[in-house]
């Protein structure tokens, strides 16, 4: 996406995002989920694609946001919307605090040790939630219902997640243009060298992960209300679904790029919805095949592939130092 076409493309996507819930009103729930998945892929890519720290456990922040939000809504006793907003904010805050705390311990690990540690965190969280009575233990929690018919509720969530996704996109586009973005890339390319040049690599890594955690907490904070239930292993800390999907969507689209995660999420979600209706019972098996297939045969992703295909069109993901 070279410089001058970027705004046009963003406008086009924004127009689609605004119109979609009215063009295909029957699919509002899926549209909302689509934007939520886009956000998951975008935020995964902050550490995974840009910084080279591949997390298998970002689902942790999503789940923490989900539980925190529902508990706030259950215990504070506000009306639906103020309760939801407060819940989302608290969820995002706790997720971010957790990222600072855990990140400062586990982001010191290199490569696959970090990936495995995050995998452990995500699953441990699900297991703890599943045993903790305050959080409804294995049967989970029921969030307050949206005070309107389902069609309206899904319209609300579709726009909510679309709005967040658009904000995140614009924010990341700006972030990756700063020297902070360059610092993340430097860590990805050669962390020892980055340290040898005097960069505070630890601080940047924790900051990057915290940004992702904050947004994921926000997304999780509304997901309970959208789905109508919170369950420790199937929704909140669903490592085998949302948890890997976010990694996969970013890889499918092209990790380390601005548009890749968006593209990957859209393609993945549509494929998955088609599978759901056509492969009764076997969809999850088919999803497993897709996951393995993408990783084995297409790890460079769509944009990575396009870049090797057309190297002449020099892409630069909007880094400021290219052409100011």
Partner 1 sequence: MAANVALLGDAPFLILQLLLDGLMIGAIFAVAAYGMALVWGVMNVINVVQGELVMLGGFIAYQLTLWGLSPLWGVPVAAIVLYFVGAGLHHVVIRRVADRDMFISLLATFGLSILLQQLMNQIWGGDVKTAQSGLGTWFLLDYTVTVSQMKVAAFGGAIAIGAVLIIFLKRSRLGQAIRATAQNPRAARILGIDTNRVFAATYGINAALCGAAGALVVMAYSVHPYIGLPYTVRSFMIVIVAGLGNLPGVIVAGLGLGAAENFAGFILGVQYQVAFVFCLLVVILVIRSTLLQRRRQFLK
Partner 2 sequence: MSAQLTIEGATKRFGGITANEDISLEVPEGRIVGLIGPNGSGKSTLFNSVVGYHPVDGGSIRFEGREITRLRTAEIARLGLIRTFQQTHVFVQMTGLQNMAISDAEAGHGLFQLMRPVSAETRERAEALLAFCGLYGKRHLMAGELSFGQRKLLELAMALMVRPRMLLLDEPTAGINPTLINGVIERLQRANREFGVTLFVIEHNMRVIMSLAEHIHCLAHGRLLASGPPEALRNDRRVIDAYLGAR
Site for partner 2, rule CB under 8 A: 175, 177-180, 182-183, 185-186, 188-190, 192-201, 203-204, 207, 256, 314, 316, 319-322, 324
Q: Residue from 59, 70, 230, 244 that binds partner 1 (CB under 8 A)?
A: 244
Task: Examine residue 279 and tell whether it contacts partner 1 (CB under 8 A).
Answer: no
For the packed helices 150-175 and 201-227, what is the interaxial angle rounded to 10 degrees? 170
Instruction: Report whether 125 contacts 60 (CB < 8 A).
Output: yes
Closest by Cα among 132, 74, 124 to 98? 124
CA 165 centroid distance within chain: 9
Nearer to partner 2, 51 or 69 (CB): 51
Q: Which does 190 bind (CB under 5 to 8 A by kind): partner 2, partner 1, none?
A: partner 2
Q: Please, which residue, 116 or 199, has the CB nearer to partner 1?
A: 116
Token pair belonging to 193: 């060298």
Candidates 23-31, 147-155, 283-291, 312-320: pick the segment binding partner 1 (CB under 8 A).
Answer: 283-291
Q: How far apart are CA 261 and CA 265, in angstroms?
A: 6
Mark residues 71-110: x for contact with partner 1 by CB under 8 A, - for none.
Answer: ----------------------------------xx-xx-
Q: Which uninterrupted H or E stretch holds 71?
A: helix 59-76
Compute the least distance from the CB of residue 300 to partner 2, in Å: 13
Tracing tokens 């305050």 back to the chain, one arrives at 134
Among candidate residues 17, 26, 25, 13, the one with its CA nearest the CA of residue 277: 26
* Piece in contact with partner 1 (CB under 8 A), picked from 5-13, 120-128, 150-158, 268-276: 120-128
By the 8 A CB rule, do 212 and 57 touch? no
Question: Least separation, in Å, of the C-beta of 185 and partner 2?
Answer: 5
Least distance in angstroms from the C-beta of 48 to partner 2: 14
Among residues 115 and 306, whose Cβ is nearest to partner 1? 115
DSSP character string of 74-126: HHH---HHHHHHHHHHHHHHHHHHHHHHHHHHHTTS-HHHHHHHHHHHHHHHH
Q: Which residues bind partner 1 (CB under 8 A)?
A: 54, 56, 105-106, 108-109, 111-113, 115-117, 119-121, 123-124, 127-128, 130-131, 137-138, 240, 244, 247-248, 251, 281-282, 284-285, 287-289, 291-292, 295-297, 299
């Amino acid at each position: 996406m070279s410089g001058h076409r970027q705004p046009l493309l963003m406008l086009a996507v924004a127009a689609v995002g605004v119109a979609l819930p009215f063009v295909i009103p029957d699919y509002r729930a899926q549209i909302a989920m689509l934007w939520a998945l886009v956000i998951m892929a975008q935020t995964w890519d902050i550490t995974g694609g840009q910084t080279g720290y591949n997390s298998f456990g970002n689902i942790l922040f999503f789940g923490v946001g989900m539980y925190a939000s529902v508990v706030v809504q259950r215990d504070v006793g506000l009306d639906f919307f103020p309760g939801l907003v407060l819940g989302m904010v608290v969820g995002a805050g706790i997720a971010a605090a957790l990222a600072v705390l855990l990140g400062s311990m586990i982001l010191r690990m290199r490569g696959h040790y970090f990936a495995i540690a995050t995998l452990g965190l995500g699953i441990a969280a699900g297991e703890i939630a599943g045993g903790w009575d305050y959080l409804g233990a294995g049967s989970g929690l029921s969030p307050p219902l949206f005070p309107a018919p389902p069609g309206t509720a899904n319209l609300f969530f579709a726009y909510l997640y679309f709005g967040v996704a658009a904000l995140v996109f614009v924010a990341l586009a700006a972030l990756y243009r700063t020297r902070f973005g360059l610092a993340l890339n430097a860590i990805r390319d050669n962390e020892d060298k980055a340290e040898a040049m005097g960069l505070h690599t630890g601080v940047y890594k924790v900051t990057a992960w915290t940004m992702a955690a904050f947004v994921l907490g926000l997304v999780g904070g509304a997901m309970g209300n959208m789905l109508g239930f919170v369950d420790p292993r199937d929704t909140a800390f669903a490592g085998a679904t949302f948890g890997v999907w976010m990694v996969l969507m970013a890889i499918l689209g092209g990790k380390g790029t601005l548009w890749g995660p968006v593209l990957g999420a859209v393609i993945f979600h549509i494929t998955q919805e088609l599978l759901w209706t056509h492969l009764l019972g076997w969809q999850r098996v088919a999803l497993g095949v897709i996951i393995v297939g993408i990783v084995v045969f297409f790890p460079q992703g769509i944009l990575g592939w396009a870049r090797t295909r057309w190297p002449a069109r020099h892409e630069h993901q909007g880094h400021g130092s290219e052409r100011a």
